Structure formats: C-alpha cells, structure tokens
Amino acid sequence: MLSFDGRAITLYEEVHPLSTKEKPTTHKLFLRRLSLLLPASCKPVIVPMQDLKRFGSGKFKALGWYFVGRARKPNFYTIDNGAH
C-alpha cells in the first residue's frame, strides 16, 4: 500500500488458496513479483499483515527494503540487551 494524503492505496496484492497460503515459496514469489514492479532505486517499507517471524525479515533485508513488524506475546524486544 502507498500512503497518500492520509489514505492507504494498494499497490499490489495477491490472493492464494489455502493450499499455498502462508508458504515460504509463496512469500518468495510474491516478493520477486513485487520487486519486478518497483524501480531498482525504490526502498519500500513493507508492513506484513502476519507475524514477521513467519514471513522472514531476512527476505526484506536481502532486497534492501525496510519493514515494520508486530511484536506480540511471547516475544519481547530490547535495544539495550535487557539492561532496563
């Protein structure tokens, strides 16, 4: 989705049957297709609708893209190695 004038506009989406939904191969193909649609210099911010652990943040990093994930129980994150 693109953010424009306070609204979200879908750039690209796919719909999959239950048999291929949430599978690593499906994710890989989705990212490949999306990368072909975007200019090489584009650095999108991806916000996956599902758990980032399942989708794999490494895939976004490999493309040089940014991502925002959800932190849900029982995952805890710290930037100071747990000092506070």
Asked if residue 27 lies in contact with residue 55, where contact means CB atoms within 8 angstroms, the answer is yes
- List CB contacts of 53: < 8 A, sequence separation 6 or more: 69, 75
41 found inside a domain: yes
Residue matched to tokens 């953010």: 3
74 found inside a domain: no
What is the number of domains present in the chain? 1
DSSP-assigned beta bridge partners for residue 7: 4
Domain range for 33: 2-67
Q: What is the pLDDT of residue 8?
A: 78
Model confidence at 55: pLDDT above 80: no
16 found inside a domain: yes
CA distance 73 to 84: 19
Please give the single-letter amino acid code of residue 2. L
What percent of the chain is modeled with pLDDT above 90? Answer: 8
30 found inside a domain: yes
- List CB contacts of 60: < 8 A, sequence separation 6 or more: 31, 46, 66, 67
Q: What is the value of pTM for the model shown?
A: 0.65
72 found inside a domain: no
80 found inside a domain: no
Please give the single-letter amino acid code of residue 72. R
